[in-house]
Structures are given as C-alpha cells and as structure tokens.
Amino acid sequence: MSDASIIPADLPLRNDLVGEEPYGAPQLDVPVCLNVNENPYDVADAVADSIARRVREVAPSLNRYPDREHIALREALCRYLERESGASLNVDEVWAANGSNEIMLQLFMAFGGPGRSALSCDPTYSMYPEYARDTFTQWELCPRNADFSIDVAATMERIAQVRPSMVLLTSPNNPTGTPLPMDELRAILDYCQTVGVADAAEGTHPVVVVDEAYIEFRDPGVPSAVTLVNDYPNLVVSRTMSKAFAFAGARVGYAVANAGIINCMRIVRMPYHLSAVTQAVALAALDHTDEQLAQVAHLRDIRNDTAQWLAGQTYRGIPLQVAPSQSNFLMFGGSFDDRDAIFKDLLGQGVLIRVVGPDGWMRVCMGTDEEMEQFKTALTQTLRRMEQDA
C-alpha cells in the first residue's frame, strides 16, 4: 500500500489539512498485539452462528434501504442498558452509529462548527482534536491533576472562560484509565447549566459529553453516567460495542441522551448511515450479551494483577509508576526518557504496545493470560537492556 501521507501537490486539499496524516495506531502482524484496547477473546461459536443467521435473514432485502431509524436495535440497546446499568430509557433516548467515533463526529457536527469551541481535560483521547479540526471547532484543554483525575474547580473556571458548546469528559479516561466520580460529574453538569455558549443564542448551555467506551470494565457497583440522562437535559453518554463487548470489527457505537439531543444528531446523520447488515450483526450480539461479556471479569483481574506487577518493576533504578485504571488498559512508566526505544525493543520481541499519553508514559491493553506472560517477559528483557545501556 502506498504511503497515505504522500499527497500530490496539485490536489486542492484544505489548507488546514496540509501536512496532516491519517489517525491510527500501528497495525502490525506480530504475535502479541496489546496496543488498541481490544477484547482479546474471539467471538463464541454460538454468537457467530447467530450473526450468520440474522445476516442471512436480511440478505434477500439488501436491494432496499435499511430502517434509517434502526428502531429494533435501539430497543435492544435500551434493554441492555437497563440490565447493565439499571437505566430506564426509551427508544427516543438512544441512537446508534458506526462506532462511537461516528457518534462523536455527529455530536461535533451538531454542536460544534465555526465560532464554537469544545473543551476537554488533558490528557485524554487523541481523536477529539481531530473531530474538532474536521468540523472547524476550536479545541480547548484544561490540565488534569497530577494523578490524572479531573481538577473540577479549574475545569469550571475554564468553562466560564471559554463558554464552549461541548464539554468532553471521558470515563474511564483514555489513555490514563482514570474514572470520573459521579459527584464530580454532577457538579460539572450543574455548573454547565449556568453558563452560556459563545456564538449561540442567549439561554443556551454547553452539552456535556461523557465518553464511556470502556465503562464495562469498571469495578462492580460503580454507577454509569447513563443513570443521569433523565436528570440532565444537557448530558450525552457515548458508548461502544468495540471494547468489552468484543465487537471491534463490527463498528457499532451508540449515544444515550434526552430526545432533544438525539434529534440534533439525527439532523446531521448521513442518510441510512447504519446498514441493514450492521444492524443485524449488532442485534445478534445483543442476543448473546452473556457470551460477549464473559471475559470482562477475567480481564479486570488481569488488569489488577498486571498493575501490581508493573509497580514492582524499575527503569534505570526508578520504580515504574502505574496510573490507577478502571479500564482494560494500563498507563505505566512516568520516567521513560526514551519510550520510542522501549517500544522498538518490545516490538523486536513480538510485543506491540502503544506510545501514547504524557511524555514518559506508555500504555498496554490487557490480553489473554498467555499474551500477558509474553508481555511481562519481553518488558523484563527490555528494562534490563536499558539498565545495562544506562
């Protein structure tokens, strides 16, 4: 494949896109891939059979456009959320798309744009500024605390200064894994209802978007923001089936919000944006929720065990830091002065992780027991070599 970064000079690419490269983590054929936060376990045979059956049922009618409102899928998502989070929702409060990436892009298209701004807490998901760029939305940041928790007071002060149309809060946060306590979320939601939005009508308030892509990996008993949707008209919760649900290849994400926000998203959606095949595949997976989430508790245990192991390692005599995580990944290091060298050394041993987050840190997602043992062995060798080269 040709280098996607090579753009012929005679093409009228937007001026602000000149020099940009497509987003994406490395996709390399290596034995242990722990860089994109996937569920490492294959879809069960029973689920695969259900997928094949549902796709076969819709195949004869693929000459017709799909249900553009995907009502059956939205109903199934309501049932899932009631079971998973105890949230009582109706179809008008749920909306699905091709991954949570499309959900986010629809939100930026609906609420962003020229003269508008979006605010988040740094560090956070690296795709957010690209959504902002693509929709001509000004991107603003507020630093997190040293432990990567949100500085609520500083965030509120920044909201008052910027008057954004959107505030993006990720829980658990990517790349740090940090959760957002419910009382802090409520405080920010309440505050946003008192703040106006720049370049918008008087009486308009910021929309608060909580990205819960990894929420199923939280500890048992921790509530989800979807339980607040009926209390806050300015709240949107974004979720995905890519991570815990072991469905990354299906590209299904969804939003939970009041009907007014969902209708705003419907304005900017592409016609028939969710194919009949995608809807069928998603319904099949939701028919088998238990199978799809069967490994979540084990991955949570692996996360906790790996965090403890990492905290016992050193880099050039300095103990590794491990950010507390409620996700299926861990950000670790804190003192890596050449993380690219560490990445390359691990890759040479067949282990792929991610160089992402603040300087000095790296991120590893949880794999199978066997993959994590290979990661530990490889990292031990890498850190030993770094020690010898110091």
User: In this structure, is residue 49 part of a structural domain?
Assistant: yes
Residues 199 and 278 in one domain: yes
**Chain-centre distance of CA 238, in angstroms?**
8
CA 321 vs CA 152, 162, 240: distances in Å = 24, 33, 29
Q: 376: domain CATH number?
A: 3.90.1150.10
Last residue of a domain, one of 292, 314, 334: 292
Residues 259 and 315 in one domain: no
Residues 91 and 138 in one domain: yes
Residues 274 and 305 in one domain: no
Would you state the pLDDT for residue 5? 58
User: In this structure, is residue 30 part of a structural domain?
Assistant: no
Instruction: Give dist(CA 188, CA 152) in Å, integer.
Output: 7
Residues 180 and 318 in one domain: no
Bridge-based pairing state of the strands 235-240 and 253-257: antiparallel
User: In this structure, is residue 39 part of a structural domain?
Assistant: no
Phi, psi for residue 129 in degrees, rounded to 5: -65, -25
Would you state the pLDDT for residue 1? 43
Residues 52 and 185 in one domain: yes
User: In this structure, is residue 145 part of a structural domain?
Assistant: yes
Would you state the pLDDT for residue 187? 98
Residues 127 and 225 in one domain: yes
Residues 264 and 329 in one domain: no
Peptide bond into 66 cis (omega under 30): no
Give per-10-residue mean pLDDT for the chain (390 aa).
67 90 81 96 96 98 97 98 96 98 98 98 96 98 98 98 98 97 98 96 96 97 96 97 96 98 98 97 97 96 98 94 98 95 96 96 98 98 85
| Closest residue by Cα to residue 103 from 239, 217, 250, 299 | 239
Residues 285 and 350 in one domain: no
Name the domain count of the chain: 2
User: In this structure, is residue 86 part of a structural domain?
Assistant: yes
User: In this structure, is residue 204 part of a structural domain?
Assistant: yes
Would you state the pLDDT for residue 21? 85
Q: What are all long-range contacts of 145-149, with beta carbons under 8 Å and residues at least 24 apart?
A: 147/178, 147/323, 147/324, 148/123, 148/173, 148/176, 148/178, 148/323, 149/178
Instruction: Give dist(CA 285, CA 293) in Å, integer.
Output: 10
Residues 272 and 301 in one domain: no
Last residue of a domain, one of 244, 276, 292: 292
Q: 203: domain CATH number?
A: 3.40.640.10
Phi, psi for residue 284 in degrees, rounded to 5: -60, -45
Last residue of a domain, one of 252, 275, 292: 292
Would you state the pLDDT for residue 2? 46
Instruction: Give dist(CA 90, CA 256) in Å, integer.
Output: 10
Residues 265 and 320 in one domain: no
Domain span including residue 369: 295-389
User: In this structure, is residue 5 part of a structural domain?
Assistant: no
Residues 249 and 367 in one domain: no
Would you state the pLDDT for residue 22? 85
Would you state the pLDDT for residue 3? 56
DSSP result, 62-84: TTS---TT-HHHHHHHHHHHHHH
User: In this structure, is residue 38 part of a structural domain?
Assistant: no
Instruction: Give dist(CA 292, CA 328) in Å, integer.
Output: 15
> What does the DSSP 8-state code read for residue 330?
E
